Structure 1
Amino acid sequence: MTTRYLLQVCLMLLFSTEISSRLCTMLHFQQNKMNKESLELLQKMNGNFPSQCIHERAAFKPTQNVVELSVSQKENAKVAIQEILQEIFNIFSKNLTPSAWDGTSIVRFQSGLHQQIQRLEACLRTLMEKELTNPESEDLQHTTRRMKKYFQGIDAFLKENQYSLCAWEIVRVEIPRCFVLIDKLTRRKEGWVCP
């Protein structure tokens, strides 16, 4: 009886590890698809950049170029991507986006970000259980601080401009650069190795 129960537990663990492994394997394909959809939704939110906002575009000076952020350890690429997605989600989830924007596109954008964050969390749990990822690494902490500083700059810019349409439009034009970094991290095949 005990042997049969133990066999069932072992089979459940084996299948859950296999499912988690497949989740991580498919993650980069899902990430590429989500990046493309997110960029399309950002464009659909309000179409072309309003001409009245062009002079304000120069006022936005990010503390750094997000595309130049580096993540040197392959295991940390997923953690960095999750951090970027979470920060983007936080900005667009404050219900302060302009009413002139397409609400359906905003909701779909938020939903896509949330789903990918959930997938990354599940994959990272698997990696951490197998001790392949060190979320406390100094390199990752440095990168996370730089990312947080970058997104705090975006948040401060929106606040300083009282969440005006032009401020949001400038942010809407800036956010695709984050997806360029995500794409760069995703393309590192060694960063998406399965456990």
Structure 2
Amino acid sequence: MAFSVPSLVVLVMIFSSPIGSFSCDLPQSLDMGKQETLTVLGQMGKVSLLSCLKDRTDFRFPQEMVEASRVQKAQALSVVHEMLQQIFNLFHTEASSAVWNMTLLEQLLSGLHRQLEDLETCLLQEMGGEQSLLGMEDPTLAVRRYFQRIHLYLQEKKNSHCAWEVVRVEIRRWLLFIHKLTKLIN
């Protein structure tokens, strides 16, 4: 997955804003939750990715969610929240339950749920008076479209083990990228 320089700037701003810059205090559990999510996703892999090379695809993560110079705190929180919600929804399906180890899947879903709860309070505070997103397309819509492509891919591949492995690696890579950026900035 290749990111353009403007996209990296946007992603750094969105996902690695120092915790103190938000009007609410994001709990430290959110940062620990990201690490836990990465760990559990890593443990979930049970199919050799080499055997699934033919199933790889580019899900086209939204490169131009927002202009880097116009990112607002509420937008950043909203995008992070939407990403976590979509990941939760993706793995909280009957098809997912049929593929993954239930103990690990429950750990993943529990961790994502805690992170979502932690973010919701801050998101509500930040969104407080902001009605508009500067006339731009809501960046969370781009995230939803990205996850819609993932859902369609899984349907096309009939929720095969290889398809789920490709998705797991995609999500883990994305979360790892976010985690590394936040470690560098903080």
Q: State the alpha-carbon separation in 2 of the partners of residues 49 and 156 from structure 1.
A: 22
CA 1:144–1:135 in 2, change beyond 3 Å: closer, same or farther? farther
- The answer on 1:153 being equivalent to 2:152 is no
Alignment length, in residue pairs? 161
**TM-score, length-scaled by structure 2:** 0.72
Which residue pairs with 1:169 in the alignment? 165
Contact 2:26/2:119 (<8 A) preserved: no
**Which amino acid counterpart does residue 153 of structure 1 have in structure 2?**
R
For residue 137 of structure 1, report the CA deviation from its aligned partner: 0.7
Contact 1:77/1:185 (<8 A) preserved: no
Q: State the alpha-carbon separation in 1 of the partners of residues 168 and 74 from structure 2.
A: 30
Q: State the alpha-carbon separation in 2 of the partners of residues 34 and 170 from structure 1.
A: 22
For residue 47 of structure 1, report the CA deviation from its aligned partner: 4.3
- The answer on 1:61 being equivalent to 2:69 is no
Which residue pairs with 2:24 in the alignment? 24
Listed one character per residue, the Cα deviations across residues 85-128 of structure 1 (whole Å, up to 9, x for unaligned) are 01111110112126453211111101111111112112222333
For residue 177 of structure 1, report the CA deviation from its aligned partner: 3.4
Among all aligned residue pairs of Structure 1 and Structure 2, give the percentage whose two residues are the same amino acid.
30
CA 1:149–1:181 in 2, change beyond 3 Å: closer, same or farther? farther
Runs of 4+ in structure 1 off by over 6 angstroms are: 185-189
Structure 2, unpaired ranges of 5+ = 1-21
Q: State the alpha-carbon separation in 1 of the partners of residues 133 and 51 from structure 2.
A: 45
Structure 1, unpaired ranges of 5+ = 1-21, 190-195
Contact 2:42/2:172 (<8 A) preserved: no
Listed one character per residue, the Cα deviations across residues 136-168 of structure 1 (whole Å, up to 9, x for unaligned) are 314774411211111111000000001000000
Listed one character per residue, the Cα deviations across residues 4-26 of structure 1 (whole Å, up to 9, x for unaligned) are xxxxxxxxxxxxxxxxxx99314
Greater helix proportion: 1
